[in-house]
A and B are shown apart, each in its own frame.
Chain A
Amino acid sequence: MPKDGIGASLARREDKRFLTGTGRYTDDINLHRQTHAYFLRSDVAHGTLNGVDTSAAEGMEGVLRIFTAKDFAAAGGLPCGWQVTDLHGKPMQEPKHPILAEGKVRHVGDPIAVVVAETLDQARDAAEAIVVDIAELPAVVDMKAAVADGAPKVHDDLTSNLCYEWGFVEENREAVDKAIREAAHVTTLELVNNRLVANPMEPRVAVGNYDRADDEYTLYTTSQNPHVIRLLMGAFVLSIPEHKLRVVAPDVGGGFGSKIFHYAEEAFVTWASKEIGRPVKWTSSRAEAFITDAHGRDHVTKIELALDADHRFTAIRTDTYANMGAYLSTFAPSVPTWLHGVLMAGNYTTPLIYCNVKAVFTNTVPVDAYRGAGRPEATYQLERVVDKAARELGVDPAELRRKNFIKPEQFPYATPVAVEYDTGNYHATLDKALEMSRYADFETRAAESKSRGKLRGIGLAHYIEACGIAPSNLVGQLGARAGLYESATVRVNATGSISVLTGSHSHGQGHETTFAQVMADMIGIDPNQVHIVHGDTSKTPMGMGTYGSRSLAVGGSAIVKAAEKVIAKAKKIAAHLMEASEGDIELKDGQFTVAGTDKSVAWGDVTLAAYVPHNYPLEEIEPGLEETAFYDPANFTYPSGAYVCEVEVDEGTGKVEILSFTAADDFGNVINPMIVEGQVHGGIAQGIGQAMLENCVYDENGQLLSGTYMDYAMPRAMDLPDFAVDHSCITPCTHNPLGVKGCGEAGAIGSPPAVVNAVLDALNRGGYAVAHIDMPVSPARVWQAMHHAK
């Protein structure tokens, strides 16, 4: 393993600025003469907006201007980036998503007016003086109620609150129904994938700055994908040509999906900075984040698993209601469909699968991708129903899975839900996790817990995910309105250092370190010679940004492709310098050598020659050493793994303590093990948070009850155990040059079912015949389940 190349747990260079308080997050940016924006938002879930009286606020101290929807008549609405076609072949219902509420307010938090003032306090004070006349309407919060006859419509111009009904694979529906009717055993489970709030520690911020001299706009924003924002906002909302619009996402404090989407505040500050003639800054409060950042998950599902007499899975049928919230967020329609339905094969050889999804509008905050985006929902359904089946049939849950796993020799494996898995070895990851967690000795530990009056349980889950999104042609056919390639420019400097300009973004993933490792490894130079540039549309080629565990798989591959072009040209130069044939040139450890001789020339000599081309084949190649590549992946990548959770339940209080958590993941090749482990730790923490603590709750009037950290239980250090993680089971990805599969979401995907399975195991071993508890598995829910089972 090289000291600091691919495979090394190199310490992160970005840490220096974060540890010394010299990071540059968007709220740290203060522009000369900037003004402050405060959004006045609806505090009712549904109502007719009859009037907004700003007269008292206009004259207040420091107020520059107050904006309402009429000021945006010329602007477009916020676009949706994915169009789903329903099972009748019709496009989804797509309501307008205005920057400021027009005619109606549709969720608590819907923005109504914006005050721009000299200071934030002045803007906030003035907002309190705005009188809003809203005639409240009944709110729809429950999804099934929202699609019932006569339900109040969230959008009056749509036929109903049903955004779409999607069926996959529709042609197989009859065969699936038949297989279920004829099955030896059918396990049925109704479950809720609870709504969550992403809550990255940095709230969203947007700073807009219009430069009158050059007629150019700059937007600083807490985004995971500045180029996507530039395209969506420039082309569809504000009609600003791309070359006049620069979007910068500097240091960003976490995203987890919630910072992918194009939000109203971004468009507002950009446009308002021109109207006002000064920069406009908006900073979200945490309470505001709860009612404006896209929420995650919120599926209600019925899943049926059919088995034959030998306990082989013969069919799966699922029926899901997926909440879209009040408006379509940028990628929302894709999450319960193409990121969920296509994973319903899981790691298993089930031959027949049908997935039905009804996406529903409700008077709640828009819902979109959150770490895992559709794959946690699919995994939770599968791994819970498999576990339930094992209990019903009286078989070991590990054995039931093993019996139905796709075998290593079956790859590439074409699933009945359209995707083809390239490689995998699920038996290996399951065995590894069981070994690490000492699954075989569980009974001894259970007895020890019992002697202390506690119920001990062990639960497992095996997941697969599709990530490294995505082949552009394929997703285009599925309704994506964007490509999903990635880009890199490798700019070699005369003295041999390298600037890599990447379309990926880093908001915690450590790309400044890992991308440097990849680049440096290809030449054989010190990674400190490589500088990674990201997050600024004026500096980097167009890229789609960071989410979906795609950065190494797609962004890293773009770097490799660009680097290969650079190396090819460098070899020509080296050949010229050494008067050798190009085909005989080898590059290793930063030296070009002529094969079979001791002639060599250093990387730095070649790079200098490229920029000072005095001894140079000018008649064959141009000076300079800089190449760009755009990489469009051939397929998704398919990481997978086995998770084991061990818990103790207190019978008196229902409190669950997690004693251990084990993860054995197959991420293909790994660039920086330390960073990969950190990604898994963070994902598991979020998965445990979902399973045990977090819940985004609305009352029947659409009031958000879990609106701050006082009511939304974020995992804290003492809520979580140490994690035992492993990634030694490696089946490299076959279709990208690094052989990587990606690791950013896995932890959040595999952990919720492992936790819930463990709790149910504890209860059932303790004599409580509990079939299911919905997340979060709080002490109250556990206690109630125990007492109902008595």
Chain B
Amino acid sequence: MKVSMKVNGRQVSGEVEGRTLLSAFLREGQGLTGTHIGCDTSQCGACTVHVDGRQVKSCSIFAAECDGVEVTTIEGMANADGSLSAIQQAFQDHHGLQCGFCTPGMVMAAAALLKENPKPTPAEVRDHLHGNLCRCTGYHNIVKAIMAASGQDVPAMAAE
């Protein structure tokens, strides 16, 4: 079946099967490989995108369900001039990534959090990330980056 949607502001379409996941549509159909697959039980969150403004794990939704929606992926998060968004820049400034594989999902989750809760506490940040696994950073710098992106300085976290 044919499916049409907007991805990062561009209208796209493609042939999919009923069983084609949105993640496969993005990665293979559209060549947008920034959305990553880290598990098969929808727990790791590396595939997180925004669908009509909501945080969604793209491995848990069929492409066919996404006809007519607006999807934002990690490739659509930078500023129009190519510079990093505030969240992305905060991740770099605070070393919130190491291997980078979970990072697209973390950035998408952070963006969704800060939209609904612009000044979260560190505990709220940690709780919001329950659907995003990271094996490299131990989360310390990810939380620090998200707090910084929200404009909140957390001196206690700089406990080096």
Contacts and interface: CB of A to CB of B under 8 A. Distances in A.
B69 interface: no
Interface string B140-160: 111100000000000011011
A684 B138 contact: yes
Contact of A14 (B100, B107, B122): B100
A677 interface: yes
Interface stretch (A18-26, A137-145, A213-221, A579-587): A18-26
Contact of B160 (A199, A709, A724): A724
A200 to B, nearest CB: 6
Interface in B126-146: 126-127, 129-130, 132-143
A15 interface: yes
B135 A717 contact: no
Contacts of A199: 135
A565 B126 CA distance: 49
B140 A253 contact: no
A21 B98 contact: no
Given A716-B133, A717-B142, A510 B98 contact: yes
A403 B15 CA distance: 72
Contact of A682 (B28, B35, B98, B143): B98
B63 interface: no
Given A287-B40, A708-B39, A725-B160, A25 B101 contact: yes
B66 interface: no
Nearest to A747: B138
Interface string B41-72: 10110100000000000000000000000000
Contacts of B126: 717-718, 720
B99 A508 contact: yes
Nearest to A684: B138
Choose among B41, B123, B136 the residue with the greatest number of A CB atoms under 10 Å from its CB.
B136
A11 interface: yes
A715 B107 CA distance: 19
Contacts of A256: 135
Contacts of B28: 30
A33 to B, nearest CB: 15
B95 interface: yes
B38 A203 contact: yes
B92 A19 contact: yes
B67 to A, nearest CB: 21
Contacts of A287: 40
A28 interface: yes
Contacts of B125: 717
A222 to B, nearest CB: 10
A253 B106 CA distance: 14
Per DSSP, chain B at the interface is loop
Given A286-B38, A682-B137, A708-B39, A20 B77 contact: yes
Interface string B93-109: 10101111111100100
Given A708-B39, A724-B160, A12 B95 contact: yes
B7 to A, nearest CB: 12
Contacts of B130: 716-718
Contacts of A23: 34, 100-101
Contact of A18 (B97, B137, B139): B97
A292 B1 CA distance: 35
Given A201-B133, A717-B126, A251 B77 contact: no
Interface in A1-57: 11-12, 14-23, 25, 27-28, 30
Nearest to A23: B100
A675 B88 contact: no
B135 A201 contact: yes
Nearest to B133: A714
Contact of B40 (A19, A200, A285, A714): A285
Contact of B33 (A11, A18, A21): A21
A685 interface: yes
Contacts of A12: 92, 95
B143 A509 contact: no
Nearest to A202: B101
B37 interface: yes
Interface residues of A, number: 60
A704 to B, nearest CB: 14
A611 interface: no
Given A254-B135, A720-B138, A723-B140, A202 B36 contact: yes
A674 B95 contact: yes
A722 interface: yes
A686 interface: yes
A507 interface: yes
Given A202-B99, A724-B159, A253 B77 contact: no
A153 interface: no
B111 interface: no
Given A201-B46, A708-B39, A716-B130, A19 B97 contact: yes
Contact of B38 (A15, A16, A202, A674): A202
Given A201-B46, A510-B98, A16 B39 contact: no
Contacts of A745: none
B99 A254 contact: yes
A202 B38 CA distance: 6
A725 B160 CA distance: 5
Nearest to A20: B78
A717 B73 CA distance: 23
Given A202-B36, A254-B136, A509 B98 contact: yes
A678 interface: yes
A20 B77 CA distance: 7
A287 to B, nearest CB: 6
A322 B145 CA distance: 41
A685 B102 CA distance: 15
B119 to A, nearest CB: 18
B98 A508 contact: yes
B141 A21 contact: no
B84 A722 contact: no
Interface in A242-271: 251-254, 256
Given A19-B107, A678-B98, A722-B156, A717 B129 contact: yes
B158 to A, nearest CB: 9
Choose among B93, B100, B130, B160 the residue with the greatest number of A CB atoms under 10 Å from its CB.
B100
Contacts of A253: 36, 38, 99-102
A681 interface: yes
A201 B44 contact: yes
A681 B133 CA distance: 15
B54 to A, nearest CB: 19
A368 interface: no
Contact of B101 (A201, A286, A708, A722): A201
Given A16-B84, A253-B101, A286-B41, A722 B34 contact: no
B91 interface: yes
A710 B97 contact: no
Contacts of B78: 20
A726 interface: yes
Contacts of B22: none
A507 B135 CA distance: 12
B32 interface: yes
8 contacts: A11-B92, A19-B88, A20-B84, A23-B100, A25-B33, A201-B46, A201-B102, A202-B38
Interface of B: 17, 19, 27-28, 32-41, 43-44, 46, 73-75, 77-78, 84, 88, 91-93, 95, 97-104, 107, 122-123, 125-127, 129-130, 132-143, 156-157, 159-160
Given A201-B44, A709-B133, A720-B140, 4 more contacts: A15-B97, A20-B84, A201-B38, A681-B138
